[in-house]
Amino acid sequence: MPRLCRPIIERATVAVVLCFGTCSIGRAQTHDIDSLRTEVGSGSQDLKVKASTLYKLSREYWDHDLDSAFAVADELLAFSQRSNYSTGVGHAYSSMGVVRWYQGNYPDAQHYNELALKAHLSSDPPRSTDIAGSYHNLGLVHDDQGNYPEALKYYLEAMKVYADAGFSDGVAQERSAIAVIHFNQKDLPAALAENQKALAIREASQDEWGLTETYSNLGITYVAMGNYDSALVWYDKALALRTRIDDQQGLAVSYNNYGDLYTLQGRYADALESFERALAINERLGYKKSMADVRLNMGKLFDKQGDPRRALHQKELALGLAEEVGATDYEHMALEELSNTWAQLGDHAKAYAYRLRFEALSDTIFNDEKTRSLVRQQMNYGFAQRQLADSLAAEEAKHLAERDHEIELSAERNRRNLFALGGVTILVVSLALWSRLRYVRRTRDTILRTQQQLVASEKQREAEQVRTRIARDVHDEIGSELTKITLLIAQTKRDQARTTATPLPHLDGIAALSRQVSASLNDIVWAVDPRHDSVQALVVHAQHYTERMLENSTARIEQHFVHVGTDRPLDPATKRNIFLLLKEALNNALKYAKAERISVSLTTDESGFALCVADNGVGFDAEALARKGNGLRNMEARCAALGATLVITATPGAGCTVQAHGPIP
C-alpha cells in the first residue's frame, strides 16, 4: 500500500514555500542554469537582485544536482551575511534545509530550517510567505520522522500565517500536508476531506503545480480505500498535467504510483514497466531516497510474482540507498522486507539478523518521544530535589509555630464543622419537605385534571343521549303524524274519485306540503342524531338530499359525491354548516338560475372538504347581490365558522359557480 508519497508532497510543496517574492504560489518558474550563472557572475546586479538570482539558481539545482544546490545556497548565505541582508540569509538556510531533507539528513534539515525561521522573523519588514514556508518545512522534517504531533503543530502555524495574509494557495498547501498525517494515521475519510478542500482552492486559483500534488494524493487515498477506478482517474490527471508542465520529479512519482496500483490489480508487467520508468528518472535526478522507495516497491512486486531472489536484490539495493542518505523510515521498511524474504528462502539465520536490526531501529524510532519525556521528567525531578533541599530549613522553623497554631485551628474547625453539620441537616430536611410538597401538588393536579376529563366525558355522553332521544322522539311522534296526514289525503282523493263530488283543489298542495315537511324533518333528525356524526355519513346524506331536490328538475344533472380515505368522527356544528352550505347553494340554483345544466360535487378526505355547485343559468351581479342578499351573507358566515374559503363566480347571462373548501377539524 503506497503512502501519500513524500515526493508528491515534498517536491511541489517545498518549491512553493521557498518561492522568492516575485514568484506566485506554485512551482518556481524554470530558469536556464547557465543564464542564471551568467547573471550571478555579471557583477552588475544590486543586492536584492543578486540574492534573488542566487536563490533561483539554488532552487533550479534541486531537480538536477543537490550538491550544487547546497553549494549555491552556501554562496548566497555568505553574500547575504556580508551584506547584512536577513531575507537572503533566510532563503539560503531554507535551501540548505531542503537539500538535507531530500537527502534524508533530518537533523541538519531541522537545524537549517530553524535558522531560516529565525532569519525570516527578524527581517524588516518580515515576509508572511517566508515565515509560513519555514514553519511548513519544519513540519515536513518532523512528518518524515513520524513525529506527527510536532508536524501538525508547524503545519497549523503555517496555515494561520497564510490565512492571515490572505494567501489561499498557501492554505491549500497546508491542507494537503495535514491530509498526509491523516493518511499515515489510517484516518482515510479525514485525509480525503482535506485533499478535497485543497483541490477546491487550487482549482479556483489555477495552481497547476499544486494541482499535480492534490491529484496524486487523491489517487493514493482512493487506492487505500480500495476504489481503484477513482484512483486511476486522479493518477491520469496528475500524469497529464506533469507532462505538460515538464515536472520530472513529479513524473517519477506518478509512475511509482501507477506501479503500486498495477501491483494491487495483478497487472505485474505494467507495474514493472512503471517502476522502471520511475527509477530511471530518479537516477537521472540523483534522488536516492526516492530510488529506495521505488526499489522497495519493485521488491514487493517480485514477491507477488513468486521470485524471492529478484525481490531480495531490489530490497538490498533499497536498504543501501536508505542507509546512504540516512532515510530512517525507508531503512526501517527495507529491514522488515529483507527479514521476510530471507525467511521465505529458508535462511532463518539471516532473517533473524535482519529482524534484530529492524526491532532495534523500531525502538529508536518509536522510543524517541519516550526518551524526550524521560529527560524532561528527570530534569523536573532534579529541580524539585534542589527546591526541597532549600526549603527544609524553612520548614523546620515553621513547624513549631504551626503546631501551636494547629491546636487553635482545630477548635475553630470543630465549631465550623458543627455549624456546617447543622446547616446541612436543615437543608436536607427543607429539601425533603419541599420535594414532598411538590409531589403532593403534582398528585393533586393530576387528580383534578382526571376529574375534569371524566366530568367533560360524562357531559358529552349525556348530551349525545339527549340528542339521540330527541331525534328518536321527533322521528317517531311528528314523523308518524305527518305520515297519517299523507295517508288521509290519499284516502280522501280515492273516495272523491268513486263519487261525483267536486274535487277539493287544495288536496294536492296539502299532500306536497306534507311530503316537504317530512323531508325537512328527516334533515333535522339527521343533524341531531349522533349516530350520523361522521364524514362518510355527511357525504351520503348530502347525496340523498341532492337527488331528492333534483328529481323533478328539467335540467341535466351532474353529481359527484365521494369520501377518500378512512371515515372519521365529525362534530355536529361542522356537519351542519357544510350541509347547509350545500343546501343554500343548491336551493339558489333551482329557484333562480333557470339552468339547463346543474353540477353538484362534494369531496372529502380525512383532513378537509371541497364543495362546488355550478349552473349555466341566467347568472347575476355578484356585487349587487352582496349588498342586499341574506343567502350570500349566510354562506359567508358558515364558511367563517368552518375556517373555509368561499368563492362565488357569477356573471349576468353566464351562470354561477359556488365553491367552498376548507379543513375538517
pLDDT in tens, 584-629: 999 888 888 889 999 999 999 989 999 999 999 998 876 666 555 6
Residue range 296-317, pLDDT digits in tens: 999 999 999 999 999 999 999 9
HSE (side-chain half, CA atoms, 13 Å) at 69:
23
Q: Where are the alpha helices (H) located in 346-367, listed in sequence order?
A: 348-366
CATH number of 533-663: 3.30.565.10
3-state DSSP percent of the chain in helix, strand and coil, to 5: 75, 5, 15
Distance CA(200)–CA(168), nearest Å, equals 10
Cell of 105: 539528513
For 122-127, what is the mean pLDDT?
86
Within 10 angstroms of residue 631's Cβ, the number of other Cβ atoms is: 14
**Residue 12 pLDDT grade (very low, low, confident, very high; cuts 50, 70, 90):** very low
Q: What confidence score (pLDDT) does residue 465 get?
A: 65
Residue range 499-554, pLDDT digits in tens: 755 666 666 667 666 666 666 667 777 877 788 889 999 999 999 999 988 888 88
Q: What percent of the chain has pLDDT over 90?
A: 40
Q: Which of 254, 263, 326 is nearest to 296 (CA)?
A: 263
Q: Where are the alpha helices (H) located in 18-127, listed in sequence order?
A: 33-42, 47-61, 66-82, 86-102, 106-121
Q: Model-level pTM greater than 0.85?
A: no
Domain boundaries, the chain: 533-663
Q: What confidence score (pLDDT) does residue 515 get?
A: 65
